[in-house]
Structure 1
Amino acid sequence: MRSQKRKKKKWLKVTSIILLVLIIGAGAYAYTVYNSFKNAANTMHEQVDRQSGKRDTAVSFKNKDPFTVLMLGVDERQGDKGRSDTMIVLAVNPNNKSVKMLSIPRDTRTQIVGKGTEDKINHAYAFGGVPMAMDTVENFLDIPIDYYMKVNMEGFKDIVDAVGGIKVQNNLDFTQDKIHFAKGDLKLNGTEALAYTRMRKQDPNGDFGRQGRQRQIIQGVIKEGASVSSLANYSDIFAALGKNVKTNIAFDDLMDLQKNYKAAGSNIQQMEIKETGTKINKIYYGIVSAEEKQRVQSELKTQLELK
């Protein structure tokens, strides 16, 4: 009996030691991941010199306030800051646990705030960088634009590769940049994903079809990046983000976001703004009617709990 008790105590002791080692090891791993994420977040952080004219008080992530992010996909070339070929507004509400995602067609004609002219909305970034792009979109949608996230589209492929590729459901057979995309479920690497988002001329839905593919890629990256299997690639993921993404969301705010807004990120609802194509002085523009603009603005204001 005493011998059996000694054996039980011995195995209990051994098991306890193993568990302790695993906990310490997991803690050390978590600490390493935390530090890598913090370094990437600090590299990505780039403050913008502007203040929203549509906010009386600043957004508080600790209080779970609804907020917006303007995502800018920019083709940056040497000696040229480029244009924002992709403009997506995310309206995040942790209270109803959802995100509204609106893609703004790049040819949309609107007032360029700070320039005093009407032009294609994607020209705002070319004229005045991130601040003018945020001001212009804020005026166009009549909602506060609280934060921005600028992604270098040439480097976006590095992010897709870092998460191990993404899966999409393709509903159109086409070829872009010498890559053939068949209908059905596809697994794309970074180069393929970039080509997938760039096609619009072969799409009967034009820029709207292109926007849908862009949303697929973004949602695919979010899904794969949040998966357990991606933990093994965390250093590559954070390095790719730090190199290719800029945002005015600070590290501490990102931690509060992860804590308080996680449920909203799993429920992304797509919005669409309808336009009529026309030419003015031989230049193509997308014209949004007053009624359509009002519809989109109302939906976003409801999502943001604005009066």
Structure 2
Amino acid sequence: DTRTKLINNENPNKNRIAKINAAYAYGGIEESIDTVENFLNVPIDYYIKVNMQGFKDIVDAVGGIDVDNKIAFNLDGVTLEKGPQHLNGIETLMYARMRKADPRGDFGREERQREVISKIIAKGKSIKTLTKYDDILKALENNINTNLNLSDMIDIQSNYKVAAESIEKLQVEGEGKMINGGWYWVVDDETRQSLSDKLREQLNLQSEAVAKINTYSN
């Protein structure tokens, strides 16, 4: 729901102020990348697009994940009780999708989604059998689109495996506001600058000023 400028570098006349997640609907992966690059002033060279409905296949391929569910809920016929439990693919999908029963709304959902991704990575690392790897590769083939080639993936697996042990999470601070009849998460330029500085430091890039965005314009 973050309100920002959607960037279409192929046709700048199509640039508009809207919710950041609308970039994909308007211009697919390219507009999504261009918009995030503009929002944070960081380069994005690679992407992975995940089919969330097929996401359950990936979870099943790694043998499910363990979570400590904080909120009992029912979603699309799946009921999850409160407390520690082992989730299969469809249960994990509902765990990652649920929002209305969570008093934190989108923020609670985003936290659970980050948790799920981290635990899938951890389970994938622990798998030893070739049979399991075959299941995982089939799930990935059917549900993921990326511009990473095989050489890139091997390089990541070889050189960045340790990084999976230490994942730092940053939250985009802002304020919820009604604008022209719609609810948005409004992030000021100072917050964007702070996030950009942290990310660029991790990328060994010098700090640069983020582009100013008038989030109250259309």
Could you say whether these structures have the same fold, taking a TM-score greater than 0.5 normalized by the shorter chain as the test?
yes
Aligned counterpart, 1:287: 186
Question: Is 1:277 equivalent to 2:171 in the alignment?
Answer: no
Q: Any gaps of 5 or more consecutive residues in structure 2?
A: 9-13, 207-218
Instruction: Give the aligned residue type for 1:217.
Output: V
Whether the 8 Å CA contact 2:127–2:133 is kept in 1: the answer is no
Q: 2:27 aligned to 125, 128, 136, which one?
A: 128
Aligned counterpart, 1:249: 148
Instruction: Give the aligned residue type for 2:184.
Output: Y
Question: Is 1:150 equivalent to 2:44 in the alignment?
Answer: no
Question: Is 1:113 equivalent to 2:7 in the alignment?
Answer: yes
Give CA-to-partner distance per residue, 1:217-240, whole Å, 9 cap, x none. 111111111113454311111001
| Larger strand fraction of residues | 1
2-side partners of 1:125 and 1:279: how far apart?
23
When the two structures are aligned, how many residues end up with a matched partner? 201
Whether the 8 Å CA contact 1:112–1:119 is kept in 2: the answer is yes
Give CA-to-partner distance per residue, 1:8-53, whole Å, 9 cap, x none. xxxxxxxxxxxxxxxxxxxxxxxxxxxxxxxxxxxxxxxxxxxxxx
Whether the 8 Å CA contact 1:110–1:121 is kept in 2: the answer is yes
Q: 1:210 aligned to 80, 84, 109, which one?
A: 109
Shift of 1:116: 1.6
1-side partners of 2:23 and 2:98: how far apart?
23
> Percent same amino acid among aligned pairs?
49
Instruction: Give the aligned residue type for 2:73.
Output: F
Q: Secondary structure at the match of 1:274?
A: coil
1-side partners of 2:77 and 2:127: how far apart?
33
Aligned counterpart, 1:164: 63
Whether the 8 Å CA contact 1:163–1:230 is kept in 2: the answer is no
Aligned pairs for 1:62-77 (under 5 A) are none
Q: Secondary structure at the match of 1:263?
A: helix
Shift of 1:162: 0.8
Give CA-to-partner distance per residue, 1:267-289, whole Å, 9 cap, x none. 11111111211122211111012
1-side partners of 2:198 and 2:107: how far apart?
19
2-side partners of 1:152 and 1:136: how far apart?
21
Question: Is 1:173 equivalent to 2:72 in the alignment?
Answer: yes
Q: What TM-score do the two structures reach when normalised by structure 1?
A: 0.63
Shift of 1:181: 2.4
User: Residues 108 and 223 of structure 1: is their aligned pair in 2 closer, same or farther, counting only changes over 3 Å?
Assistant: same
Aligned counterpart, 2:209: none
Aligned pairs for 1:221-236 (under 5 A) are 221-229=120-128, 231-236=130-135
Q: After the TM superposition, which of the residue ranges 289-298 and 223-232 deviates more from structure 2?
A: 223-232
2-side partners of 1:257 and 1:236: how far apart?
20
1-side partners of 2:93 and 2:150: how far apart?
28
Question: Is 1:263 equivalent to 2:162 in the alignment?
Answer: yes
Instruction: Give the aligned residue type for 1:152.
Output: N
Q: 2:93 aligned to 181, 194, 197, which one?
A: 194
Instruction: Give the aligned residue type for 1:259.
Output: S
Q: What TM-score do the two structures reach when normalised by structure 2?
A: 0.87
User: Residues 216 and 230 of structure 1: is their aligned pair in 2 closer, same or farther, counting only changes over 3 Å?
Assistant: farther
Instruction: Give the aligned residue type for 1:109.
Output: R
Q: Secondary structure at the match of 1:241?
A: helix
Aligned counterpart, 1:53: none
Cα RMSD, aligned residues only: 1.4
Q: Secondary structure at the match of 2:54?
A: helix
